[in-house]
């Protein structure tokens, strides 16, 4: 028989066999990981700027509404009686915020002029830190925050320049038409002839499309704009210890 079951065959491996393929990397080659370079996430930066803008607008709106509510309440006027638009409330919030920040210059001795810059520096530093975390060193973040604080302060002051320019134009217009000196400002008094033929002259507190509130002496008159009828009179008297 050609094949016997008791016959053995010895196989000797002379060299290890390696099977390679051009599409398969060799296990003997160690791949060096590439260095990861962190960059600014533009999508996150856009969301951060948009979120800050929404927060700022909301804060100015709430602050302006509370300021107006507290101010008008001293004259016996409630905001529910007025038609206050969003632009009016935002303008009030900005003007009151500007006045509060600028008043801190005189309230804080020696360091007063640095207070506005410090406030905007803290805001800019928080923004830069969240945006540049792991991208730049802390020293670079501080320098960028300082530049950002100057830019924010400039943007914050810029609208006031328009107001000042408008005031100057108004004074020039008054002087050219009246020949009087208006450099110290203008005293304003308003006169309304009511439906009852009563002539009221005083200071305008507030006016909207529905009503006008006029302060005459210590009395605030609420006058309907359509009919010129006096709707209400608020008599203001200072509180004393006995009245409390």
For 5, list phi and psi in degrees, rounded to 5.
-70, -25
For 187, list phi and psi in degrees, rounded to 5.
-90, 130
Contact 133, 105 (CB under 8 A): no
Q: Which long-range contacts (CB under 8 A, 24 or more apart) does 120-123 make?
A: 120/148, 120/149, 120/150, 120/152, 120/153, 120/156, 121/145, 121/146, 121/149, 123/149, 123/152
Distances (CA, A) of 161 to 115, 129, 155, 166, 225: 20, 31, 11, 9, 34
pLDDT the model gives residue 221: 94
pLDDT the model gives residue 203: 94
pLDDT the model gives residue 218: 92
pLDDT the model gives residue 18: 59
pLDDT the model gives residue 244: 59
Distances (CA, A) of 85 to 71, 75, 220: 17, 20, 23
Which domains, from first to last, does the chain contain? 42-184 (no CATH), 187-237 (2.30.30)
DSSP 195: T
pLDDT the model gives residue 178: 86
What are the tokens at 110? 């020696």
Q: Are strands 230-235 and 219-224 parallel, antiparallel or unpaired?
A: antiparallel
pLDDT the model gives residue 180: 84
pLDDT in 10s for each residue of the chain, 244 residues:
555 555 566 656 555 555 555 555 554 555 555 555 567 667 887 888 888 889 989 999 999 999 999 999 999 999 889 988 888 999 999 999 888 888 877 777 777 788 888 888 998 888 888 877 766 777 777 888 888 888 888 888 888 888 888 888 988 898 888 888 888 888 889 999 988 888 999 999 999 889 999 999 999 999 999 999 999 999 999 888 776 5
CA–CA dist 224, 115 (Å, integer): 45
């Amino acid at each position: 028989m050609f094949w016997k079951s008791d016959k053995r065959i010895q196989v000797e491996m002379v060299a290890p066999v390696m099977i390679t393929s051009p599409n398969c990397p060799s296990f003997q080659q160690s791949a060096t990981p590439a260095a990861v370079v962190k960059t600014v996430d533009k999508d996150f930066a856009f969301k951060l700027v948009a979120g800050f803008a929404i927060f700022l607008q909301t804060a100015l709106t709430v602050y302006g509404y509370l300021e107006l509510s507290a101010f008008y309440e001293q004259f016996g006027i409630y905001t529910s009686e007025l038609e206050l638009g969003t632009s009016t409330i935002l303008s009030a919030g900005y003007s009151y915020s500007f006045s509060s920040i600028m008043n801190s210059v005189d309230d804080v001795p020696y360091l007063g002029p640095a207070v506005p810059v410090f406030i905007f520096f803290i805001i800019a530093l928080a923004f830069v830190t969240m945006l540049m975390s792991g991208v730049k060193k802390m020293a670079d973040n501080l320098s960028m925050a300082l530049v950002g604080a100057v830019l924010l302060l400039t943007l914050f002051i810029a609208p006031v320049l328009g107001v000042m320019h408008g005031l100057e134009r108004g004074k020039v217009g008054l002087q050219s038409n009246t020949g009087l000196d208006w450099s110290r400002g203008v005293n304003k008094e308003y006169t309304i002839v009511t439906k009852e033929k009563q002539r009221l002259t005083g200071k305008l507190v507030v006016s909207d499309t529905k009503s006008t509130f006029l302060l005459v002496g210590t009395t605030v008159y609420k006058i309907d704009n359509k009919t010129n009828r006096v709707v209400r009179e608020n008599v203001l008297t200072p509180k004393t210890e006995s009245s409390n």
